[in-house]
Amino acid sequence: MPSKKALVRRPSPLLADGLVTHIQREKVDTGLAGEQWEAYVEALRAHGWEVIEVEPADDCPDSVFVEDTVVMYRNVALITRPGAESRRAETAGVEEAVARLGCSVNWIWEPGTLDGGDVLKVGDTVYVGRGGRTNAAGVQQLRAAFEPLGARVVAVPVSKVLHLKSAVTALPDGTVIGHIPKIDRPSLFPGFLSVPEESGAHVVLLGGGKLLMAASAPKTAELLTDLGHDVVTVDISEFEKLEGCVTCLSVRLRELYA
């Protein structure tokens, strides 16, 4: 039976000091962020996900963005080497959590850097963004880790946003969605649908045809609902102020057979 486990990590008390690269810094309300995180976790639970909390990393402001620290392909957990040095200490706790779940563990090594937010899986195709956080060595190491397992790895330039998945994600039918002004080369994605809002580009597949989206993309929610998708929204405004999105707050483990 495929698994439905999701890793999450409680926000650090230092969250408001998280990195900001492509947007203007705005004051983060950490109390509200805590409430929004609880509601996000509850949305996962409500849709059948067993939520597993990684040990908090209170000294790391960006640790809530757990997606950046590990990339799953089948049963293999590739522990990343985040492009931002201030985020490197986040990986230890995540490695412990995936090992405990019985994953095979692999690593991105120096000089490679890779953030999980730069990796989008669509079936057996693994798109990897080569941008501010993921370098060429990181792309090569990801290829070496996943191609032997049957993945087709496609490298994609990313220059306008933080991560590949800040620009594009995919619907359950494999259609890649994104907000054109933020994508370097939309033509690299077969079956591409343009959406009207930047944060409309971010969906988490909850299973059963349901999509988790941010409340900040009402026009895209309407568009996707009109196409017959079942949209669930959560307000993640405080994480969006730090360039976070719905995808980066969890890591879904769908192919654990332990």
Residues of this chain that bind ligand CIR (CB under 6 A): 18-19, 21, 62, 65, 67-68, 84, 87, 117, 162-163, 165-166, 242-245, 248
Residue among 27, 8, 7 at smallest CA distance from 17: 27
Least Å distance, CB 243 to ligand CIR, is 4
Nearest approach in angstroms of CB 68 to ligand CIR is 5
Which of residues 19 and 232 has its CB atom nearest to ligand CIR in the complex? 19
Collapsed DSSP state (helix, strand, coil) of residue 7: strand
For residues 25 and 148, which CB has a smaller minimum distance to ligand CIR in the complex?
Answer: 25
Distances (CA, A) of 163 to 27, 115, 208: 22, 8, 27
Q: Is 248 part of the annotated catalytic residue set?
A: yes
Nearer to ligand CIR, 85 or 110 (CB): 85
Catalytic residue chosen out of the listed positions 60, 103, 163, 202: 163
Q: Which residues contact 164 (CB under 8 A, 6 or more apart)?
A: 117, 118, 119, 120, 127, 128, 129, 131, 156, 158
Least Cβ distance, residue 42 to ligand CIR (angstroms) = 21
CA dist., res. 70 & res. 9, Å (int): 13
Q: Give the per-residue SS3 of 148-159.
A: HHCCEEEEEECC
Cβ nearer to ligand CIR, comparing 98 with 214: 214
Residue in 60, 103, 245, 248 annotated catalytic:
248
Task: In angstroms, give the least distance from the CB of 66 to ligand CIR.
Answer: 9
DSSP letter at 120 equals E
Q: What does the alpha-carbon distance between residue 210 and residue 213 come to, in Å, rounded to a whole number?
A: 10
Q: Which residue, 21 or 159, has its beta carbon nearer to ligand CIR?
A: 21
User: Is the Cα dihedral 249, 15, 69, 156 positive or negative?
Assistant: positive
Nearest position to ligand CIR, beta carbon = 117
Residues 165, 49: Cα–Cα separation, whole Å: 21
Q: How far is the CB of 226 from ligand CIR (least distance, A)?
A: 27
Please give the positions annotated as active site. Answer: 163, 248
